[in-house]
Amino acid sequence: MSNTRHVPVMLQRCLDLLAPALREPGAVVVDCTLGLGGHSEALLTQFPEVRLIGLDRDTEALRLSAERLAPFGERATLVHAVYDELPAVLERLGLPRVQGVLFDLGVSSMQLDEADRGFAYAQDAPLDMRMDQTTGISAAEVLNSYPPGDLVRILRAYGEEKQAKRIVSAIVRERGKEPFANSARLVELIRDALPQAAKRTGGNPAKRTFQALRIEVNGELSVLERAIPAAVAALAVDGRIAVLSYQSLEDRLVKQVLAAGAANTAPPGLPVVPEEFQPRLKLLTRGAELPTDEEIAENRRAAPARLRGAMRIREDVR
């Protein structure tokens, strides 16, 4: 087990952003992406009065974090759920409003480190990539069964891959000979399909394709589109949300939802802005905050992180 899997990204900054909302006795914080429980452990330790709800779709992550958080007893409630299921989870627990919500949208270190999950392009493994291995279709099934046009769309939209057509042509040709099962064959195919110039920059040439497949397999962006507004709606007044993103598609989506909540929506020219048009949120970060050089040196997985935070300043007016 490598050390990096125990280092939560931008931990102190996340705690500082959420802190003012979590000091009241009875405060509830939701860790929507529990993973191995690093952020959750720190929240429970730093705020001794807080109750934590932890969500994860990965049953192995839930098992491991349950061991880690066992010393906190009933203060931690762990739930097998995808984070867009937040409203249903809170309703089931009888919690109409919460004081804090945290999202860490990176693939968990455990998923990257366990070779047989198929997330990492650096080692050969079955092409699975499902965060919840009890449901859904694998990356291999996507590669072997999707029409070429859909594969091109996925690589362009989710991987921002400029060479999508070239890569998909090679995939379609090769899957006709033998279906894809393992990651090494896909990595080799991508290397062979790309022109030399495209291989010179941007790290491993398979990175964008693997990202695109992972997002498709787990429905990540459509889940996030539902989850961020649901989390904002679940915040009590003075409650706070912190979101860590690792790629531009996610960060853009988070930025749009938080900016919309912080905007005055009144038609121009009104002498007094009625309450229903007033902002619901106040932004707590200027743009997206980045990890420090020291943190990146300690934990290379922090490098692409972007952190945004907001505070609920008024109820919705019905």
Burial degree of 232 (CB within 10 A; 0-12, 13-18, 19+) = buried
Higher pLDDT, 269 or 34: 34
5: pLDDT confidence band, cut at 50, 70 and 90?
very low
Binding-site residue ranges = 37-39, 56, 83, 104, 111
What does the pLDDT read at residue 3? 36
Q: Looking at residue 4, what is its pLDDT?
A: 39
**Can you tell me the distance from the alpha carbon of 224 to that of 220, in angstroms, rounded to the nearest whole number?**
6
Average model confidence (pLDDT) for the chain? Answer: 89
DSSP output for 4-62: GGG--TTHHHHHHHHHHHH-STT-EEEESS-TTSHHHHHHHHH-TT-EEEEEES-HHHH
In angstroms, rounded to a whole number, what is the distance separating the alpha carbons of residues 223 and 83?
Answer: 7
For 160-198, write each residue's pLDDT tens digit: 899 999 999 999 999 999 999 999 999 999 999 988 776
Q: Which residues are annotated as a binding site for S-adenosyl-L-methionine?
A: 37-39, 56, 83, 104, 111
pLDDT of residue 145: 97
pLDDT tens string 69-109: 999 999 999 999 999 999 999 999 999 899 999 999 976 54
pLDDT score at 318: 55
| Cβ proximity of 311 and 305 under 8 Å | no
Q: Are 286 and 208 in contact (CB under 8 A)?
A: no
* Orientation of helix 248-261 relative to helix 220-234, angle to 10°: 30
Q: Collapse the DSSP code of 311 into the 3-class scheme (helix H, G, I; strand E, B; otherwise coil) and give the result.
A: strand
Residue 115's pLDDT is: 53
Asked if 14 and 39 touch (Cβ cutoff 8 Å), the reply is yes
Residue type, 304: P
Q: pTM higher than 0.95 for the full model?
A: no
CB 260 within 8 A of CB 308: no
Domains and CATH numbers, the chain: 3-110+220-312 (3.40.50.150), 117-218 (1.10.150.170)
Write the CB contacts of 214 (distance below 8 Å, at least 6 apart in sequence).
Answer: 107, 119, 129, 139, 220
| Residue in 217, 228, 259 with CA at minimum distance from that of residue 103 | 228
Distance CA 309, CA 288 (A): 8
- Classified as helix, coil or strand, 280 is coil
Q: Which helix (H) or strand (E) element contains residue 223?
A: helix 220-234
